[in-house]
Structure 1
Amino acid sequence: MPVLTHPSPHFKTALDLGRPPTIKELFPHSQALIVSGKYIDRAMNAKGRAMTIAANGRNFFVLQGALMAAQRANAAIIIEIARSEGGTGAYCAVNLWNIARQVDAICNQKKITVPVAIHADHFGIKSMADMEQAEIEIPTLFDAGITSIAIDASHMPDDQNLMANLSLAHLIPPWAGLETEVGEIKGKLGLSTAQEALFLIQGLNAHDIFPNWIALNNGTTHGIEASGSGIDVALTGEIHTALKPYNVSGAQHGTSGNSSEKLKAIAKETRTTKANVATALQMISWGVEVNDYGNAILDDDNQFIKKRGEGTSQKVWEEMLAFAQKNNLTGGNFKKLNLPFENKLMAQPREIRERMAKGVETFVYDLLTNVFNAGDTAELVLEDILRAKSCDPGPQGERIEDPAQWTREKIMEKAASIESDKGPEGDFDD
C-alpha cells in the first residue's frame, strides 16, 4: 500500500483519533481519513458561508474524480450513494455496501488525504410497513463503512415521518452524521414550510436527537432540471432562520440544473453545508456535454451530445445508446445505464478511464473552490479532531423541547394542526 503524505504534522494523529471504530476494523492499515459526517458539517460551519459537495458516486470514475478534486482544493468532502441508486434494488454497481471499500482504495492509491465522509443518502421509508426491513438493513450499512445517513421518511405524513425517525434513531451510532428530510423533492410542487420543518426538528430535539442536516423541498428536482425555476433561495433562508435555535444545517438536494450563481447564493445566504450532485457528475464522466447548470445539452433531435475526445470511448457510448433505445431509456432514465455498463467502462484502456475521472475532477474542483467556498476546509476537520480527541465531536445542538410535549399522542395532535401542501403522489426517487 502506498505511503500517503500530508502537509500537516498532525495528520497521523488525526488518522488515529478521527476514524470511527467500524472504519478502523474494516481498514486497519489504511491511510485514508474517513470520518463521521458530523466533522464535515462542522468544518463548513467553522469556515462560514461554505458548503461541500456530496458527490453521488454512481460509477467508479465519479468516485475517483470527486476525491481527486477535493485533494486539489484541500476540501473536506462527502461521497454518497442513495438507497434508490445503490440499495437492494440498485441501478448502480457502486452500492451502499461497497462504496466505502472503493473510496478507501482510491484514497490509498491516489494519496488522497482530505477528510471524507461516506453517506447513505435518501434511506427511504415510504410507509410504516418499511420499518421492519429498515431495522435489519441500517446496521449493515455501518458495518460496511457508512459514516453518515439520511433517514428519509418525507413520503409519509408529518407525524409518521417524525415517528419513523424516532424509531430508527437507536440504530445509528452516536458518532455518525445524521440527515433528516421534510417534503419530497418535487420541484415547485409541495414546497416545504417552516412549520413542517420545525415540527420535525423540535420533535427530534425533545428526544435528544440532533440531526446535522435537514433536507427540504425548496423548489428543485432530482435528475435533469427541466422547469428552469430551481432552488428557492429565499424560502430556504426563511426555513433555516426558523430552525436556527436548533443548530441544524441544510442539505441541498438536486443541485444539477441550478446555476452557479444560485448555488453561490445558497452557500452565502442560507445555513446549507451539504450540496448533493448526482446527474451532472454521471453525465460528465461519460463525456456528455453539460452547461453551467450541470444539465446535459441536447442537439436538434433532443439527443445527448457526446464530446469528442472526452469521457467514454465512442464505441462504448454507441453501445450505451443502443441499449437505451432498446430498453426505452430517455432523459433522466439514462441513469439506468450505470449498472449494466460499469464493467464495460472499467474494461476500457487506461487513457480513457483517466479522462473520464479527469472530467469529473475538473467540474468538482470548480464547484468546491469557486462556487461552494469549500477550499481549505480539510484543515478545519483536522483541527476539530485534535480538539475532540475522538471520532465523535459530539452533538451540534442541545435539548430545548420538553419530552412530555412530544409523546406519540401529542405528536399526532400537533401534526393535525399543520397546514401544508404535500404535492402530487408519485415516484420522485432518483
Structure 2
Amino acid sequence: MSLVSGQEVIRECASRGLVAGAFNTTNLETTMGIVQAVEKTGVPTFIQVAPTNAVLSGYEYIYDMVSRRVAGTDVPVALHLDHGRTLDDVRAALAAGFTSIMMDASGHPYDQNVKLSAEARALCPPGIALEVELGSIGGKEDDHGPEREFTTDPAEVADFVEAVGCDLLAVSAGNVHGYAPDARLDLDLLRRIQEAGSVPLVIHGGSGLGADQLGVLSDYDVVKVNVASDLRNAMIRTFGEAYVANPHEYSLIRVSTASVQAISDVVEQRIRSFNPRLGSPVAQS
C-alpha cells in the first residue's frame, strides 16, 4: 500500500493494543531490512529520518526509497521526520511527501517550545501527525546531544498538549538517546505523565532499554518507540565482520544482502519486545 498518515498508524495500533516501532533509516539496506521485519510481524510502523541523516541524500530520496518499498506491503507504514529542529526542517519534509512530523523544540525555554511546536502544527495539513517533545532527552544521536537534559514535568503536560494541539508527546523519563545499555525508565514518572496527558506518548532511545521495560510500555499509553542505534550497529558490524574475515572481500552485494538480514533481525526482535503478546518467531510458525 501507499504510505499512510502517522495518525493512521496511531489509530491502528491503539485499536489493536500495539506499540509501533519507529525505525531510523539512511540508506537502502536499512529500509529493506525494516520493511522485511514489518511484513513478518504485521505491526504498523514508522520509518523515519532525522535532518542529521537526511544531509546524505535529501528528503526526496528518502521519500522515494521508502514509498517504493512499502508499495508492495499490506502493513500500514508512515514516513516520519525525526527531531526536526527548525520550521524549515518541517517544511522540507512536508514538501517531500512525509506523512508524519516531529518538531523538537525541547532545547528552548517552555514558552518558546510551545510557540515553535504550535507553528509546526499550523504547517501540517490535516491528517499529518505531529509529535513534539516536553522535557529534554539525554544522550547523543549522531554525535548531537542537548545542552542540558531534564525530565518531563507532569504538571506542564496538560497545558502544553492543549496549547500545541499535538498528536504525540515525546517524553523524558530516564530514556537516553544512542546506545545506553544502563538506561532505565522511571515508570512512576511515566505513569504521572500518562495520567496528566491526553495524547499517546513516545519513548526515544529504545536501543538502550531492556525487554522487561519495553514490554510494559503499552500500559502507559506509549504508542511509538524510537530505535536507531541498534540498526546502525547491525549494518556496521556486518561490514566490519566481513572485512575482518576477508580483507580482500569484493562482493558488495553479498555483504549488503547480509546487512539487510541483520537489520531485519534486530527490527523484528524490537517489535516483539514492544509487543510481547506477538510471541517469538518460533511460536508463530
Instruction: Classify the TM-score, shorter chain.
Output: 0.7 to 0.9
**Counterparts of 1:68 and 1:202, CA distance in 2:** 37
Label 1:249 to 1:138 Cα distance change in 2 as closer, same or farther (>3 A): same
Deviation at 1:354, TM superposition (A): 1.2
Q: Which amino acid aligns with 1:278?
A: A
In the TM superposition, 1:220-231 aligns within 5 A as 220-225=175-180, 228-231=182-185
In the TM superposition, 1:157-306 aligns within 5 A as 157-186=109-138, 189-204=149-164, 209=165, 211-225=166-180, 228-243=182-197, 246=198, 248-267=199-218, 269-287=219-237
**Counterparts of 2:232 and 2:245, CA distance in 1:** 13
Q: Which amino acid aligns with 1:314?
A: A
Aligned 8 A contact 1:312 1:352 in 2: no
Deviation at 1:189, TM superposition (A): 4.7
**Counterparts of 1:185 and 1:170, CA distance in 2:** 25
**Counterparts of 1:39 and 1:190, CA distance in 2:** 31
Q: Does 1:84 align with 2:52?
A: yes
**Equivalent residue in structure 2 for 1:364, among 243, 267, 275:** 267
**Counterparts of 2:163 and 2:245, CA distance in 1:** 49
**Counterparts of 2:256 and 2:263, CA distance in 1:** 11
Deviation at 1:358, TM superposition (A): 0.5
Q: Which has the higher strand share?
A: 2
Can you give the 5+ residue segments of structure 2 that lack an aligned partner in the other structure? 140-147, 279-285
Runs of 4+ in 1 over 6 A off after TM superposition: 316-319
Q: Which residue of 1 aligns with 2:8?
A: 39
Deviation at 1:53, TM superposition (A): 0.8
**CA deviation map 1:14-47 (0-9, x unaligned):** xxxxxxxxxxxxxxxxxx4210000111111111
Deviation at 1:350, TM superposition (A): 2.4
Secondary structure of the corresponding residue to residue 176 of structure 2 = coil
Deviation at 1:163, TM superposition (A): 1.2
**Counterparts of 1:161 and 1:317, CA distance in 2:** 49
Aligned 8 A contact 1:64 1:357 in 2: yes
Q: Which residue of 2 aligns with 1:315?
A: 243
Deviation at 1:370, TM superposition (A): 4.5
Secondary structure of the corresponding residue to residue 165 of structure 1 = helix
Aligned 8 A contact 2:91 2:123 in 1: yes
How many percent identity over aligned positions? 24
Q: Which residue of 2 aligns with 1:112?
A: 73
Q: Does 1:122 align with 2:83?
A: yes
**Counterparts of 1:41 and 1:169, CA distance in 2:** 17
**Counterparts of 2:7 and 2:74, CA distance in 1:** 18
Q: Which has the larger radius of gyration?
A: 1
Can you give the 5+ residue segments of structure 1 that lack an aligned partner in the other structure? 1-31, 126-133, 288-309, 320-346, 376-430
TM-score by length of 2: 0.85
**Counterparts of 2:8 and 2:155, CA distance in 1:** 28
**Counterparts of 1:317 and 1:203, CA distance in 2:** 56
Q: Which residue of 2 aligns with 1:424?
A: none
**Counterparts of 1:212 and 1:192, CA distance in 2:** 17
Aligned 8 A contact 1:213 1:249 in 2: yes
Aligned 8 A contact 1:212 1:249 in 2: yes
**Counterparts of 2:116 and 2:221, CA distance in 1:** 25
Name the structure, 1 or 2, with higher relative contact order (CA <8 Å, separation 6+): 1
For these two proteins, the number of residue pairs brought into alignment is 269
TM-score by length of 1: 0.58
Q: Does 1:355 align with 2:258?
A: yes
Secondary structure of the corresponding residue to residue 98 of structure 1 = helix
**Counterparts of 1:160 and 1:285, CA distance in 2:** 38
**CA deviation map 1:70-120 (0-9, x unaligned):** 00111211100112332xxx3xx3543321111123235xx3331110000
**Counterparts of 2:202 and 2:73, CA distance in 1:** 25
Q: Which residue of 2 aligns with 1:419?
A: none
Aligned 8 A contact 2:214 2:273 in 1: no
Deviation at 1:150, TM superposition (A): 0.6
Deviates more, 1:61-70 or 1:192-201: 192-201
Give the root-mean-square deviation of aligned CA atoms.
2.5
Aligned 8 A contact 2:90 2:103 in 1: no
**Counterparts of 1:148 and 1:279, CA distance in 2:** 21
Secondary structure of the corresponding residue to residue 190 of structure 1 = coil
Deviation at 1:353, TM superposition (A): 1.3
**Counterparts of 2:100 and 2:38, CA distance in 1:** 18
**Counterparts of 2:130 and 2:270, CA distance in 1:** 24
Label 1:240 to 1:107 Cα distance change in 2 as closer, same or farther (>3 A): same
**Counterparts of 1:348 and 1:249, CA distance in 2:** 45
Aligned 8 A contact 1:220 1:229 in 2: yes
Aligned 8 A contact 2:121 2:130 in 1: no
Q: Which residue of 2 aligns with 1:395?
A: none
